[in-house]
Structure 1
Amino acid sequence: MSRVISSRWMLLERTLSERIIITKAPLKEGWGQEFFLAAAFDEKRMTQIQVEAVSKSSILGNIYIGRVENIATNIQAAFVNIAKGVSCFLPLEEAKNAVFTKKNGKKDLCIGDELLVEVTREKQKNKPASVSANLNFSGKYLILTTGNHLLGISKKLHATERERLQALLKDQITDTFGIVVRTAAKDASDEEILKELEMLTKQCHACLQGAMHRTAFTRLREAPPFYLQFLKNRNLTEVQKITTDISSVHEVLLQHLQDTKDAEKLHLYTDTQVSLFALYSLTHELERALHRQVWLPSGAYLVIDPTEALTVIDVNSGKNIKKKAREELVFSVNVEAAHEIARQLILRNISGICIIDFIDMKEKEHREELMHILRMDLKKDKVPATLVDITRLGLVELTRKKVQKSLKEQLQGDVSDEK
């Protein structure tokens, strides 16, 4: 059962565990639109946030019957319409295991073919949304995928857990789907995992079978609300509380978490004197997440400048560094900056190419250690991020997969969407 709480009780019970809140932002100057948000907090500050406009829900994760409009072999991609006038980018690599409802010709993919596609990346600026013919059905512990017929187990799991899950699921693979085991499965019993597998299998079969009787542009599955996906991407064993002040959201979450121990973490916030938005100082947190300058505990700071092509991050010491012990102090500041940069990538949802200008270091060992630290921090990111190299000028290059719009675009709107 969930509990109803007040702001005064919450203020007394802040712990070191992660807290998640889901609320609606009041209409305010500076925000381009009214929006819902889901945010995660550790003991010190906000660590991640996702927003969705009240007037415009995301199509990310939706499954449609699309129609192939054009094939561009020079870029190894096709353009697929999921609605009249709505064209999406489909890499040919992502169409190898396509499920067709209508097939024209003998080639793997032909103009006019109708196939099932899932939206994998939102429309961003002048780039269309991306889709894949590899359909995913996600749960807390497992992901079923039509993209292959293999069993994949999270590398973050201990060897004994991997062996247990391998033995449990190796005979469950079918000609229809493969299975990916998520990190959260380490805390689940065999019974819980098999129960979720049965549920996801029903969802998968219902979608595939239902498609055979539908026409092009039909939406076969609407992705779960963004806040449910937000929860699925987190390890709930590390979450102490999930709080919302929206009754309808509370009901959805209660249904989603029923029969799990995580249901006890769900709370409905009802205090009318202090809003949940105000209690967590979200106006301040959002403004700080959009600010160009980010201060570090040492007095150093980052300057983050997103451009059309890439994001540039400059590390500044914030003070004159004396020659004596300069190398150690610079290394210390750069390490501090590396941790914060990894956090800011997630918080601001920065994607694409990033160039980082760390403070110059002379010692090769320090440069290598800094790259190791940054690489380890990037591995914690749920969105694939890759540390590429250090240029001859000493600039660090990294890339982060584009899935959703940046926080700035989500909050202030994307001008290109209105054209």
Structure 2
Amino acid sequence: MKRVLMDISADLTRIALAEDGELKELYYESKREESLVGNVYAGRVANVMPNLQAAFVDIGAEKNGYYYYGNARAVSDAEKNSARPKVGDTLLLQVEKDAVGTKGAVLTGKFSFPGKFLVLLPEEGGEIGISRKITDSAERARIREILTELLPADCGAIVRTNGEGKSREEFEREWKQLWAKCERLKTGEFLKPPALISQENHPVKRAARDFYGADVEEYVVNEAESYRELLESGDFNGEGQPALRLHTDAIPLFEAYFLESQSEKALDEHVWLKSGGFLVIEETEACVVIDVNTGKAAGRGDLQKTILKTNLEAAEEAAKQMRLRNLSGIIIIDFIDMADTAAQKEVTQRLKKAVAKDRIKTVVVGMTELGLMQVTRKKTRPSLKRQMTTKCRACDGSGRLPSIEWTVTRMRREAESVFAHTIYNELTVQADKRLLAAFAGGDGAWKTALEKKSGGTILLEESEMGFGQYAMEKRKKKVNV
């Protein structure tokens, strides 16, 4: 059974897709950092970069958004001067991707308004795309005929997989809802930028839309107001519609469906396979790397069979983890080396079959000459790791701290510099016990030697600072004559 759980608290909304009790997708959205994807703004051009055919646009967010105004990167900006905006211009733009790290949101001038069955494209006149997963030719022709009659000449649409089998009345009702959003764009001409013109739905409504389909049998929400709003939409509890239920039990929602522990493990760096092998998943600014290891499976029977078995398991698990953690962009999978070409093809096919279950567009590019599997997955929102964690203040997000030897050397240089180049002759050093002992040297030998050489005084003061952290307080001590 496929079930969508919507756990709403004062500061955080969690959306989970579970299938037969197994967590498949998980999204976090804080009230402080709600996704802007789909929002339409009247933005002010802050900076133009002609060499990139791009502009940075102030939409009122913390970072300026990035807007690419060229049609093709092969075309020079000189040939596109008519499309080049000027600093101070007002542009109506839609957020295509959320801000990530130091990068602002990605903006586009091509608007799209997604619904449960349709994605309305107000500036793509006559273009009607139909999901490839709708394979019946008669059904595709029926849908195309309905939309050709419904849509204005200057408007296009993409039919989602959920549109299969829907009646003309259902398409018309959704088209009217989406067209109302298009009409709001006209108000942007009269607003002072930066200004929000159209805001995408609340996370719960967006999840209800994105997951809506015959394969999801039940939606469960733990907040009465959201439950009421979803119920009033008319999309639930009817014939052929998924069920909607309000969770009122004392047991927290995720715990009641045994997903809490699964969600806590969703960020584990190591993911074990049934064969005894394991994956190591690391996210970087440039790409995601998934390393496959034989682990406990090594040394069991025929080596090549063990490698193939582990790699096949890893292919399926990697696809699951990409979906669960919302890994996107360039993804490199370092499978265990396979000498047999047939084995490489089998692993590639297994991976392609596994990623086909993903709602987000995922492409298996293939193996490089070094035996690394290349995968791309469309970026829609920050990964689960970026949603659930924050940068470590101690290591500044690197995941590593300076060694104690490096830190002690730095501390000693700083102490020597104080006595040699300033008027201060007393120094109080604050740090944890271990670092102070290393700084002073065996039996305090280094500290004693510096005091004798400089004529200064060093005082050691234990504190509860983190590993590798320290503070130095300088003073001018009166010398008795």
TM-score bucket of the superposed structures, by smaller chain: 0.7 to 0.9
SS at match of 2:295: coil
Match of 1:389 in 2: 366
SS at match of 1:224: coil
Distance in 2 between residues matched to 1:342 and 1:25, nearest whole Å: 30
Distance in 1 between residues matched to 2:293 and 2:81, nearest whole Å: 59
Is 1:170 matched up with 2:145?
no
1:59 to 12, 36, 40: 36
CA spacing shift, 1:276–1:182, aligned 2, 3 Å: same
Deviation at 1:267, TM superposition (A): 0.3
The answer as to whether partners of 2:282 and 2:288 remain within 8 angstroms in 1 is yes
- Correspondence 1:106-255 to 2 at 5 A: 107-111=82-86, 112-149=88-125, 150-158=127-135, 159-205=137-183, 207-255=184-232
Match of 1:18 in 2: 2
Distance in 1 between residues matched to 2:13 and 2:368, nearest whole Å: 41
Q: What's the CA shift string for 1:300-354, capped at 9, x where partnerless?
A: 2211122232221111222354586433342232122111111111111112222
CA spacing shift, 1:20–1:323, aligned 2, 3 Å: closer
The answer as to whether partners of 1:24 and 1:277 remain within 8 angstroms in 2 is no
- Correspondence 1:246-395 to 2 at 5 A: 246-258=223-235, 261=239, 265-272=243-250, 274-321=251-298, 325-395=302-372
Distance in 2 between residues matched to 1:190 and 1:173, nearest whole Å: 12
CA spacing shift, 1:114–1:261, aligned 2, 3 Å: farther
Distance in 2 between residues matched to 1:365 and 1:25, nearest whole Å: 51
Distance in 2 between residues matched to 1:347 and 1:153, nearest whole Å: 27
CA spacing shift, 1:124–1:237, aligned 2, 3 Å: same
The answer as to whether partners of 2:110 and 2:123 remain within 8 angstroms in 1 is yes
Q: Which runs of 5+ in 1 are unaligned?
A: 1-16, 27-33, 96-104
Amino acid at match of 1:22: M
The answer as to whether partners of 2:128 and 2:158 remain within 8 angstroms in 1 is yes
The answer as to whether partners of 1:151 and 1:173 remain within 8 angstroms in 2 is no
CA spacing shift, 1:55–1:108, aligned 2, 3 Å: closer
Distance in 2 between residues matched to 1:398 and 1:52, nearest whole Å: 26
SS at match of 2:288: strand
Deviates more, 1:296-305 or 1:36-45: 296-305
Distance in 1 between residues matched to 2:61 and 2:95, nearest whole Å: 16
The answer as to whether partners of 1:60 and 1:120 remain within 8 angstroms in 2 is yes
Q: Which runs of 5+ in 2 are unaligned?
A: 73-79, 397-481
Identity %: 31
Amino acid at match of 2:99: K
SS at match of 1:167: helix
Deviates more, 1:148-157 or 1:111-120: 111-120
Q: What's the CA shift string for 1:179-234, capped at 9, x where partnerless?
A: 111100113112211221122223212x1222233222221111101222223222
The answer as to whether partners of 2:21 and 2:259 remain within 8 angstroms in 1 is no
CA spacing shift, 1:310–1:332, aligned 2, 3 Å: same
CA spacing shift, 1:86–1:392, aligned 2, 3 Å: closer
The answer as to whether partners of 1:254 and 1:263 remain within 8 angstroms in 2 is no
Deviates more, 1:323-332 or 1:229-238: 323-332
Amino acid at match of 1:185: G
Deviation at 1:79, TM superposition (A): 1.4
TM-score, normalised on structure 1? 0.84
CA spacing shift, 1:320–1:64, aligned 2, 3 Å: closer
SS at match of 2:365: strand
Distance in 1 between residues matched to 2:156 and 2:301, nearest whole Å: 59
Distance in 2 between residues matched to 1:25 and 1:325, nearest whole Å: 52
Deviation at 1:363, TM superposition (A): 1.6
CA spacing shift, 1:271–1:54, aligned 2, 3 Å: same
CA spacing shift, 1:360–1:390, aligned 2, 3 Å: same
Q: Tell me which structure has the larger Cα radius of gyration.
A: 2
SS at match of 1:70: strand
Deviates more, 1:34-43 or 1:212-221: 212-221
The answer as to whether partners of 1:125 and 1:414 remain within 8 angstroms in 2 is no
Match of 2:445 in 1: none
Distance in 2 between residues matched to 1:78 and 1:275, nearest whole Å: 46
SS at match of 1:238: coil
SS at match of 1:198: helix
The answer as to whether partners of 1:94 and 1:132 remain within 8 angstroms in 2 is no
Q: What's the CA shift string for 1:104-154, capped at 9, x where partnerless?
A: x98223213322111111111111111111111121111111352211111
Higher relative contact order (CA 8 A, sep 6+): 1
The answer as to whether partners of 2:120 and 2:157 remain within 8 angstroms in 1 is yes
SS at match of 1:345: helix
Deviation at 1:403, TM superposition (A): 2.2
Deviation at 1:58, TM superposition (A): 2.3
The answer as to whether partners of 1:385 and 1:400 remain within 8 angstroms in 2 is yes
Distance in 1 between residues matched to 2:120 and 2:22, nearest whole Å: 34
SS at match of 1:187: coil
Amino acid at match of 2:269: R
Q: What's the CA shift string for 1:152-171, capped at 9, x where partnerless?
A: 11111022221111121124
SS at match of 1:328: helix
CA spacing shift, 1:211–1:402, aligned 2, 3 Å: same
Deviation at 1:49, TM superposition (A): 0.8
The answer as to whether partners of 1:145 and 1:178 remain within 8 angstroms in 2 is yes
SS at match of 2:143: helix
The answer as to whether partners of 2:122 and 2:156 remain within 8 angstroms in 1 is yes
SS at match of 2:83: coil
